[in-house]
Amino acid sequence: MSGGFVFSEKPIQIESGEGAYLYGEDGTEYLDFGASYAVASLGHSHPTVTEAVQEQAAKLTYVQASYPVDVRTELYEKLATLAPGDADNVWLCNSGTEANEAAMKFARSATGRSKIVATKRGFHGRTLGALAMTWKDKYKKPFEPLAGGVEFVPYGDGDALAEAVDEETAALFLEPVQGEGGIYPASAEYLRQAREVTEEAGAALVFDEIQTGVGRTGDLWACEGVGVAPDILTSAKGIANGLPLGATLVKDWIAEDSGDHGSTFSGGPVVCAAANATLDTVVDEDVPGNAAAVGEYLRSELEAASEEHDLPVREVRGVGLMIGIQVKRGANRVLKNLALSEQILALPAGRTVVRLLPPLVIDESHADQFVDSFVEVLG
């Protein structure tokens, strides 16, 4: 069997990237409106991140997390300072699914309970624990049986939360904006209800901010935009601008009885250097503010163009630069035409939603380029 059997390769060979653009081996320029599932938060080959990685790689590539290293300690302190509420205890890993696995284990250990409540349409990862909390059968069926004790409720239904979260519940897992499920933002009222029912039951409220975090929704963390702080927050994707890093941030009551957990590659110095540079840039240059402004502009232009040109679009929804366009015809065909005829790369979120997760540093000219191309493809 040849290598690369898991992913279906696209007919585009990528050679390099800079800012909001990727370049094929033949020199073709592609506007990247997917950022590899929100990973390239500052765009490709960002000079500050590149410099930090090169300097750290020349000094120390890796040492296990039981030995203090300045760059790792700096990231611990930075994330603790930036954490929502007082979820300022930090555990580092290599991916979003690992961050969610850790959150699941920490919640069960801290509460002494086993039941997990998750939501329909939710996506929390592909390892067996996180997969058990993921809704769609297509991700789960080939790998069953999975970890047990997970109950699913409709997303956005506060009454269902109140009924499901009880004295046997260890944690409630929520995405403040469902990504893979089709770009559905939760209301502030719903997230406040989630906070109330978990506090009443003594369960942990976990916000999965793997995709929404680090500025994508217009705030550093999506939960900050609605003023609700979780007991546990998970982050990954854009946190190190392309290098593999995940983080699980927890309150003291979780950390004090978190159980025995670890990872060989927890907080490697090179990825920590990338994350420090990324977070500093996000904060210092108000990248969330840009995401909010350009995201609002892009959504309004898409809605106006859809109406003006009578495009087969049912809805444009999202927050910041996390946008879903629900089309009347198949999303994959739209994406293929965008890539091959307009040199624009985006993502699906199910069969009918075109998902936009561009680098958070794009400007209105990039938004205009996408809208013009989208009109050309659908018109």
Sequence ranges of the binding site for pyridoxal 5'-phosphate: 96-97, 123, 208-211, 264
Residue type, 84: P
Q: DSSP secondary-structure letter at 147?
A: -
Rounded to 5 degrees, what are φ and ψ at 322?
A: -130, 95
Buried b (16+ CB within 10 A) or exposed e, 158-168: bebbbebbbee
Q: Which residue has the tokens 């930036």?
A: 82
CA angle in degrees (0–180, nearest 5) for 30-179-292: 70
Furthest-apart CA pair in the chain: how many Å?
61
Query: Rounded to whole angstroms, how far apart are CA atoms 102 and 71?
Result: 22
Q: Which residues are annotated as a binding site for substrate?
A: 126, 263
Nearest Cα residue to 236 out of 317, 294, 175, 153 = 175
Q: Which residues are annotated as a binding site?
A: 96-97, 123, 126, 208-211, 263-264
- Cβ(3)–Cβ(323) under 8 Å? no
